[in-house]
Amino acid sequence: MSPAEGVSDAEIEHLAGMANRLRRHVIKMTYFAGSGHPGGSLSAADMVAALYFRELRLDPSRPAWPDRDRFIMSKGHACPVWYAALAERGYFPVDDLWGLRSTGSHLQGHPDMRKTPGVDMTSGPLGSGLAAGVGMALGARITGRDFRTFVMLGEGDLQEGCTWEAAMLAGHRGLTNLVALVDYNRSQVDGRSDDIVRLDPLADKWRAWNWAVREVDGRDLHQVLDALSWATAPQDRPAVIIAHTVKGWPVSFMLDDPEWHGRAPDRDQAAAALAELGEVWAAPPRELKVEGSRSKVGLTPAAMAGQGDEAGARPDAPACIRPERGRERPRRVLRDAFGAELAALGADLPNLVVLDADISSSLKTGAFRMRYPERHVNFGVAEQEMFLAAAGLATTGLIPLACTYATFATLRAAEQVRSFIAYARLNVKIIASHGGLEVGWDGPTHQAGEDIAMMRAVPNMTVVVPADAASLPALLRQAVALDGPVYLRMGRNPVPILYDEGQPFTLGRAITVRQGADVALVACGPMVSLALEAAEQLEEQGIQAQVLDMHTVKPLDGEAVTRAAATGAIVTVEDHTILGGLGGAVAEHLAEHCPTPLVRVGIPDTFGRSGDPAELFPLYGMAVSDIVGAVLRVLQRKKAPAAP
Amino acid sequence: MSPAEGVSDAEIEHLAGMANRLRRHVIKMTYFAGSGHPGGSLSAADMVAALYFRELRLDPSRPAWPDRDRFIMSKGHACPVWYAALAERGYFPVDDLWGLRSTGSHLQGHPDMRKTPGVDMTSGPLGSGLAAGVGMALGARITGRDFRTFVMLGEGDLQEGCTWEAAMLAGHRGLTNLVALVDYNRSQVDGRSDDIVRLDPLADKWRAWNWAVREVDGRDLHQVLDALSWATAPQDRPAVIIAHTVKGWPVSFMLDDPEWHGRAPDRDQAAAALAELGEVWAAPPRELKVEGSRSKVGLTPAAMAGQGDEAGARPDAPACIRPERGRERPRRVLRDAFGAELAALGADLPNLVVLDADISSSLKTGAFRMRYPERHVNFGVAEQEMFLAAAGLATTGLIPLACTYATFATLRAAEQVRSFIAYARLNVKIIASHGGLEVGWDGPTHQAGEDIAMMRAVPNMTVVVPADAASLPALLRQAVALDGPVYLRMGRNPVPILYDEGQPFTLGRAITVRQGADVALVACGPMVSLALEAAEQLEEQGIQAQVLDMHTVKPLDGEAVTRAAATGAIVTVEDHTILGGLGGAVAEHLAEHCPTPLVRVGIPDTFGRSGDPAELFPLYGMAVSDIVGAVLRVLQRKKAPAAP
């Protein structure tokens, strides 16, 4: 280390010790959580320590103090090291750290400014922090306050154009109260950024954007402190510190390995990492962590309603459903089925191309990429570009399958999908995973709860939500065969396999997975299984519930809904907001064709939170018991229609 | 002009003559259309002539020829000069040009690849063309074709981050079959880009993005041709030509004047401009242009249904409605009322800040900006940044009103609004104009038809759609007083003033603007006036129609809908898709509380087209007569409910 001006050796030593302590917390937090992002947390630890234990003007007893310096972790997945610093700085008890990502905790999978003291800006979706920081810096100017705003960026942030929009305005306006720190570990989810979409010459980029630039070794606290002094000294433009770091540093088996971007250590790995960090730790079992934290959750399980039963008309055509009941059915992750079918499709269709945006490992496109590298493009973290490029590719006679999480496809790239793909009816397939509350631990920024409503509102769009890994291959093939845009939504977790071989699937045609004349459950995606479980429980009460798998939400199978309405009572079940999605589509059909009492089960017009889906579903009124309750409520209305 | 290598003087003269001819077409086209974008069309004319009459490998008789070179006009508003070149090149008759932006024409206000022969990519929303071009260039590589892709960019494109995402990938992959041309006239809607968000040092930016750069005088055809030769010669990276141009060139009264970005010349101005361009033209009246072109429209007016009437319950509380009937009511543009009230709010609320994204003139924020320049920020064409910065500003105790068109607020910035503003419940007001088909001439890329559905699906969001310029000020003030995110949607055109002074307005509380017991019309925005007209016509048939102004679509006034359902029949009326918006919200309420026959009037799940809204509304089934027809249809169902 070169000596930093005006900083004592003792202080450097103290900060280095703190950085080490934060790293140890990161290991334990992600171990306890069983998920999370250790790699980019470790690489940023020295900078976070320098900021929180020397540079930032803060008062942990007053998190809302208007004159505090602001810090934004734009690479929001690295929140473990940030939470660790906030705890050590006194914003909340260190023991809270062990609840990371659990249902009862205020520590979400990605930072939530409304839940965690000391978090000044929500983050997670990359490429957003610098623009939010521009707002804070402008706000300081307008309100005449002298606080500074610091934004930490990763490679993904720099691949997203929004970062460069913000950098342009900051340079134009000379926002000298804004400092960017790049945790430049050159590693992202899908590998090395130099391979995916390289950022060099990175310093030239910032200079051309009218920023002052300094490059440092981000592991050398002398250099980091010097650079912070330089960046906060009077100058005529905003300053960026490009800190060269190493992902996973200094844990030997995590070093510079993209695998550790978003994987939690197991018990042995955690103990080994801590040993390297100087701590002997006999890791307790993960289950110990959440004790006593449940009470922090503000939500209560939805109350259930009364009972009832009544006869109705009879639906048709039995489905080929596996014989097991409820939770006994074997489970499979839809993305795995997608990846396997994709590779097979690649052989059948030479004009199929697959596009990724840095999460190919999550979307399971690897087998296709290995076999057909010339037909695979990874855009890095740049979803808007990916969908526009998909439009361009489609015009050359190719069939692009553009793969990402549902929030990024339908929110980040909403205009690209609507105004360029759908308006032009281009033959692009939007493959989205991580739909719904079922995403769990990653938190609301990654839980797509509005995507079906949004895609359904877009003309020319077909919206497909397969229920299980058995129906996915057939529905995927039909989506690809359709000449036009399709939105195909999958969840994250394993879901029961419902269908036996021999079950036919047709886009736009619902499947009656269970007969029943008293009430109809119209469900999609992973909720079909829960609806079936609910129907099995209702049978024990003498209620015969029909269950429809509405795998195509648009175009809606109106005939099937009309037939279902013959029961006199309908419950829709979806892992999505109850506004405008499957429930909305069914409500519209009923009102226009056959007014019938309806109850919608789904996300109740609120944002979710991090946690185990098994805990979240009851909290948000989406468990099997809630479906049963909804049926009992709607049956009450069937017997005695409400006076208008 | 310096001589271009290998180009004869005669050819240069021919191209210069063609550029002049294209410019004359632009003047006539925008004059006839009465709207459109002449300034940026004129500045690009020399480059377009050089491309279409020398550089591009094309066959107008085969617009879909797979080996053709591709051209994308990313600055899509400059389509007049492009259409002129396509016509002169033989893609369609020159006479088609005079139908620009009219209902019967294939020439949309912004380029539509599905309507205009020779248009290879839809465009309009800035910052999209280069990414689409990346897709085409990748497609050429994958399919083994040697066509080249040329993308023309303006200042707005370069302020949008998506352009830099695409530039990054193109640089990384060395897409040498891709050429960008920057029509660098340094002028955008709101003024000079050097003042709003400067782009210099522009060449350095591209170099830092690993592109080869050449700067030329874009009016010098020798330089342009030389640069095209250079750009298409073998090299190791994509090439960009930065062409320094002058907006409006060479029409003296348009020169370098941002006013002429999006304003059509009147008859005298058109004649004067043409005289400067060497043509004596006695301008015919604008009305002559659309003769014989109506038949090209594929849509037919929606068929009307039967008649009927029946008694029902009685709603309450009369509204203070102006005495005039139907079309006699005076009209006012809501944006004007917004601009005036905004300036007044600025005096009352010192913490109000106004954000614009280059269309401040359209959003009428000028009076506020003039009075409170320190509380106004123009982000240029960078909506994602604007909404994130609004989030940041809100955290400093300010109340940001972020103003743009509805498509950009809810599509381009969908994730920023949802995951950063709504999730965090930040006190940001989203002020959106240009909602609905009523936008007319600008075409589908600018006609927000899904915004209400999208914003309604977002938790924590209040959605307000004022019906007239009299209700807007009160609803705006209440929106600002509410501590949380609000989406306020306005149309583009003048709408009748419905309310007299003395009418109270309350967010979340519908107004019964007309009593009637036979049927209820639930409308929002400019459709309240049309619903009222329909009710007046129905009265002549002896049908008493209640009309509700549902100015707050979320939270929906459920009690009012339940009362309306007492009539036994409901028609919803909105300038928005019938899926998931007001119609969807009412359908959901009815199904959950009081199943009642419903017919939804709105955009029928299809994209619009350019044209006069007075012509578009009947084509899309949204005219007064369509509302009357919808009422007659729903009354049939009231009498004889459909068998489920």
Question: ipTM score here?
Answer: 0.90
d(CA A510, CA A553): 9
Give the single-character DSSP code of B410: I
Q: Is the Cβ pair A388, B162 closer than 8 Å?
A: yes
B201 to chain A, any CB pair closer than 8 A? The answer is: yes
Q: What is residue A299's predicted lDDT score, i.e. its pLDDT?
A: 40
Residues B19-35: pLDDT tens digits? Answer: 999 999 999 999 999 99
Distance CA B336, CA B363 (A): 8
Q: Which two three-digit tokens encode residue B348?
A: 């009352």
CA distance A395 to chain B (A): 7
The closest of A154, A129, A137, A161 to A237, measured between CA atoms, is A137
Cα separation of A594 and B637, whole Å? 10
Is B588 in Cβ contact with A590 (below 8 Å)? no
Handedness of CA B186, B191, B195, B198 (dihedral sign): negative
Which residues in B lie closer than 8 A to residue A163 (C-beta atoms)?
161
Q: Which two tokens stand for residue A115?
A: 């839940």
Task: Report pLDDT digits (tens) over B265-291.
Answer: 999 999 999 999 999 988 888 876 644
What are the tens digits of pLDDT across the range B366-377?
A: 999 999 999 999
Nearest to A597 among B390, B410, B595 (CB): B595
The pLDDT confidence band at residue B306, using thresholds 50, 70 and 90, is very low
Tokens of residue A69, six digits:
């310096």
What number is the average pLDDT over the span A471-492? 97
Structure letter (DSSP) for residue A317? -
- The length of chain A in residues reads 644
Please identify among residues 599-618 of chain B the ones whose CB lies closer than 8 Å to any CB of chain A: 599-600, 605-607
Q: How many CB atoms are closer than 10 A to CB B528?
A: 31
Q: Token match 């019967």: residue?
A: B104
**CA–CA dist B395, B416 (Å, integer):** 15
Over residues A27-38, the mean pLDDT reads 95
Confidence at residue B288, expressed as pLDDT on a 0 to 100 scale: 67
User: A572-604: b or e for each residue (b if 16 or more CB lie within 10 Å)?
Assistant: bbbbbbbbbbbbbbbbbbbbbbbbbbbbbbbbe
pLDDT above 50: residue B561: yes
Instruction: Give me the pLDDT at residue A388, please.
Output: 94
Closest residue on chain A to B160 (Cα): A165
| Residue A2, pLDDT above cutoff 60 | no
Give the length of chain B. Answer: 644
Under an 8 A CB cutoff, do A139 and B396 touch? yes
Q: Angle CA(A161)–CA(A167)–CA(A170) in degrees, nearest 5?
A: 145
Amino acid identity of A467?
A
Q: Comparing A190 with A215, which gets the higher pLDDT?
A: A215
Mean pLDDT (chain B) is 92
Kindly list the strands in the beta sheet with B70-73, ordered across the sheet, starting from the edge strand earlier in the chain.
B70-73, B149-153, B178-184, B239-244, B212-217
Question: What tens digit of pLDDT does each residue of A376-390 get?
Answer: 999 999 999 999 999
B225 CB-near residues (< 8 Å, 6+ apart): B4, B7, B12, B15, B50, B54, B55
Alpha-carbon distance B209 to B201, whole Å? 13
Per-residue tokens: A86: 């906030």
pLDDT at A292 over 60: no
Q: What is the rounded CA–CA span in Å between residue B270 and residue B114?
A: 30
Band the pLDDT of B567: cuts 50, 70, 90: very high
With tokens 């999730």, the residue in question is B423
Q: Is the pLDDT of residue A629 over 70?
A: yes
Q: Decide if pLDDT at B538 tops 60.
A: yes
Task: Give the tokens for residue A602.
Answer: 């789904």
The tens digit of pLDDT for each residue in A61-101 reads 999 999 999 999 999 999 999 999 999 999 999 999 999 99
Burial class (CB in 10 A: 0-12, 13-18, 19+), A193: buried
Rounded to whole angstroms, the Cα distance separating B644 from A517 reads: 14
Query: Which stretches does DSSP call E strand in A147-207?
Result: 149-153, 178-184, 187-188, 191-192
Evaluate whether B211 touches B166 at the Cβ level (below 8 Å).
Answer: no
Q: Is A351 exposed, middle or buried (0-12, 13-18, 19+ CB in 10 A)?
A: middle
Backbone φ and ψ of B262, nearest 5°: -130, 40
Mutation for testing the A interface, residue in B169, B456, B589 having most A CBs under 10 Å? B169
Give the distance from residue A90's alpha carbon to the nearest chain B alpha carbon, in angstroms.
Answer: 22
Of A138, A390, A394, the CB nearest to B377: A138
Nearest to B390 among A135, A199, A568 (CB): A135
Contact A122 B578 (CB under 8 A): no
pLDDT at A323: 86
Percent of the residues in chain A that have a pLDDT greater than 90, as a whole number: 88
* pLDDT tier, A288 (very low <50, low <70, confident <90, very high otherwise): low
What pLDDT score was predicted for residue A309? Answer: 27
Q: Do A397 and B644 touch (CB under 8 A)?
A: no
Q: Is A109 helix (H, G, I), strand (E, B) or coil?
A: coil
Give the amino acid at B265: P
* pLDDT for the residue B326: 79
Amino acid at B168: M
Q: What's the distance, CA B555 to chain centroid?
A: 26
Between strands B486-489 and B494-496, the pairing is unpaired
Q: List the structure tokens of A253.
A: 């088996």
pLDDT at position A557, please?
98
Nearest-Å Rg of the Cα atoms of chain B is 26
For every residue of B356-394, which 3-state class applies, written as one string?
A: ECCCHHHHCCHHHHHHCHHHEEECCCCHHHHHHHHHHHH
**Per-window interface: B 436-475 vs A, CB < 8 A:** 444-445, 449-450, 453-454, 456-460
How far is the C-alpha of B277 from the C-alpha of B266, rounded, in Å? 16
Handedness of CA B81, B86, B87, B92 (dihedral sign): negative
Beta strands A511-514; A545-549: pairing state: antiparallel
Please report the pLDDT score of residue B290 as a whole number: 46
Q: Whole-angstrom Cα distance, residue B142 to residue B156? A: 31
The DSSP call for residue A40 is H
Digit-coded pLDDT (tens) for B418-464: 999 999 999 999 999 999 999 999 989 999 999 999 999 999 999 99
Say yes or no to pLDDT of B310 above 80.
Answer: no
Residues 516-545 in A contacting B (C-alpha not used; CB under 8 Å): none
Q: Quick one: pLDDT band at residue A310, thresholds 50, 70, 90?
A: very low
Element at B50 (helix H, strand E): helix B45-50
pLDDT at position A289 = 63
B556 at interface of A, judged by CB pairs closer than 8 A = no
Reported as type and span, the H/E element at residue B212 is strand B212-217
Residue among A127, A313, A644 whose CB faces B562 most closely: A644
Nearest CA in chain B to A201: B208
Do B147 and B64 touch, CB atoms closer than 8 A?
no
Q: How far apart are CA B358 and CA B197, in angstroms?
A: 10
- Return d(Cα A529, Cα A535) in angstroms, integer: 10
User: Which amino acid, B19?
Assistant: A
DSSP states along A597-638 = -EEEEEE-SS---SS-HHHHHHHTT-SHHHHHHHHHHHHHHH
pLDDT value at A558 more than 90: yes
Q: How far is CA B187 from the centre of its chain?
A: 20
Beta bridge partners of B332: B495
| Lowest-confidence pick of A256-260, B27-31, B68-72 | A256-260
The mean of the pLDDT values for chain A is: 92
Please work out, in degrees rounded to the nearest 5, the angle formed at the alpha carbon of residue A19 by the alpha carbons of A13 and A22. 145
Q: What is the pTM of this model?
A: 0.91
Percent of chain B with pLDDT over 70: 94
| pLDDT at B327 (0 to 100) | 80
User: Other CB atoms closer than 10 Å to residue B222's CB: what's the count?
Assistant: 17
Contacts of B458 in chain A (CB under 8 A): 450
* CA separation, residue A521 to residues A614, B73, B282, B497 (Å): 21, 49, 69, 46
Local confidence band at B184 (pLDDT 50, 70, 90 cut-offs):
very high
Q: What is the pLDDT of residue A3?
A: 63
Tokens of B525: 């925005």
* Eight-state DSSP code of residue A201: S
> What amino acid is encoded at B431 in this protein?
I
User: Which pLDDT score, from 0 to 100, does residue B4 have?
Assistant: 73
What is the rounded distance in angstroms from the CA atom of residue A301 to the CA atom of residue A623?
9
First to last CA, chain B: 77
Greatest extent of chain B over all pairs of C-alpha atoms, in Å:
84
Tell me the pairing of strands A376-378 and A352-356: parallel
Please tell me if residue B121 touches chain A, with a CB cutoff of 8 Å: yes
A365 in Cβ contact with A496 (< 8 Å): no
Strand ranges (E), A247-351:
331-333
Whether B641 shows a pLDDT value over 60: the answer reads no
Instruction: Enumerate residues 6+ apart whose C-beta is below 8 A from B257.
Output: B39, B187, B247, B248
Does B508 score more than 50 pLDDT? yes
Residues in a beta bridge with A600 = A572
